[in-house]
Amino acid sequence: MPLTVVRTTYSGEAVTLAQDLDISAYDIAVPCSGDGLPHEVFNGLSKRPDATRALSKVAVCHIPCGSGNAMSCNLYGTHRPSLAALAIVKGVPTKLDLCSVTLQDGERLTSFLSQAYGLIADLDITTEHLRWMGAARFT
């Protein structure tokens, strides 16, 4: 089985690699890292003109080798690289929910772990005139 190994050298490089990936030649991407490289791979696949096809064709796996390994823990139940590799080799598909957020400038970001918004601060500031409502102001 042919294998292509790419060592990234800068932050964001995996976005470009996934965006330019020949999906007819590859069916899996396996970042060996923390959660950052899988995040970049998902974002690269999402930025393609054929994003739906790319995301459904290319399996994104994860061998945990970083400080944050939540993807591996969620998919395989382990943060140990050897057990994650075994789970990948077994080839049992596991679905993973992705969240897509479009920013005001039109940039689209894809996330697989958690999302947070600065909504509470905005609500607090923009509802200042409703302070007379007390706690009901925030419900």
Which residues are the active-site residues? 35
CB 40 within 8 Å of CB 110: no
Handedness of CA 70, 36, 15, 63 (dihedral sign): negative
User: Mind giving me the DSSP string for 112-128?
Assistant: SS----THHHHHHHHTG
Alpha-helical segments (H) within 50-135: 51-57, 70-76, 81-90, 119-126
Kindly state the helix (H) or strand (E) to which residue 32 belongs, with its residue range.
Answer: strand 32-33
How far apart CA 88 and CA 73 sit, in angstroms, is 13
> What does the alpha-carbon distance between residue 114 and residue 126 come to, in Å, rounded to a whole number?
25
